[in-house]
Amino acid sequence: MATAVNTRADKVAHLSHFIDGRFVPTARSHFENRNPATGAIVNLVPEADPAVVDDAVKAAKRALKGPWGKMSEQQRSAILRKVADGIMARFDDFLAAEVLDTGKPKSLAAHIDIPRGAANFNIFADQVLTLSTETFRTATPDGAGALNYAIRVPRGVIGVICPWNLPLLLLTWKVAPALACGNTVVVKPSEETPTTATLLGEVMNEAGVPPGVYNVVHGFGGDSSGEYLTRHPGVDGITFTGETGTGTAIMRAAADGVRPVSLELGGKNASLVFADCDLDKTIEGVTRAVFANCGQVCLGTERVYVQRPILAAFTQRLKAAAERLQPGNPFDTATTIGPLISQAHRDKVLSYYARAKADGAEIVTGGGIPALPSPYSSGFFIAPTIWTGLAETSAVMREEIFGPCCSIVPFDDEDAAIALANDSPYGLATAIWTENLARAHRVAAQVEVGITWVNAWFLRDLRTPFGGSKQSGIGREGGVHSMEFYTELRNVCIKL
Catalytic residue among 181, 277, 294, 298: 298
Task: Report the 10 Å Cβ neighbour count for 43.
Answer: 23
267 vs 290: CA distance, rounded Å: 13
CA distances, 336 to each of 329, 333, 344, 407 (Å): 9, 8, 22, 21
Helix/strand/coil for 477: strand
Q: Please tell me the distance from the alpha carbon of residue 121 to that of residue 82, in angstroms, as a whole number.
A: 9
Q: Which residues contact 173 (CB under 8 A, 6 or more apart)?
A: 116, 120, 477
Number of C-beta neighbours around residue 361 at 10 A: 22
Of 227, 264, 400, 477, which one is the catalytic site residue?
264
207, amino acid identity: A
Burial class for 280, CB neighbours closer than 10 Å (0-12, 13-18, 19+)? exposed
d(CA 484, CA 145): 29
- The dihedral built from the CA positions of residue 74, 79, 85 and 87, taken in this order, carries a sign that is negative
Phi then psi dihedrals of residue 400, to 5 deg: -70, 125
- Cβ distance 80 to 179 under 8 Å? yes
Residue in 434, 447, 41 with CA at minimum distance from that of residue 269: 447
Q: What is the greatest pairwise CA distance in the chain?
A: 86
Judge whether 264 counts as a catalytic residue: yes
What phi-psi label fits residue 308: left (phi over 0), alpha (psi between -120 and 50 degrees) or beta?
alpha
Per DSSP (E only), the strands in 5-145 are 13-14, 17-19, 22-24, 30-34, 41-46, 135-138
Whether residue 177 is preceded by a cis peptide bond, meaning omega within 30 degrees of 0, is no
Query: What's 250's DSSP letter?
Result: H
Q: How far is CA 324 from CA 37, 282, 334, 340, in A?
A: 19, 16, 11, 18
To the query of whether residue 493 is one of the catalytic residues in this protein, the response is no
Range 215-248 burial, b when 16+ CB lie within 10 A, else e: bbbbbebeebbbbbbbbbebbbbbbbbbebebbe
d(CA 263, CA 279): 35
- Put residue 328 in one of left, alpha, beta given phi > 0 → left and psi -120 to 50 → alpha: left
Catalytic positions:
264, 298
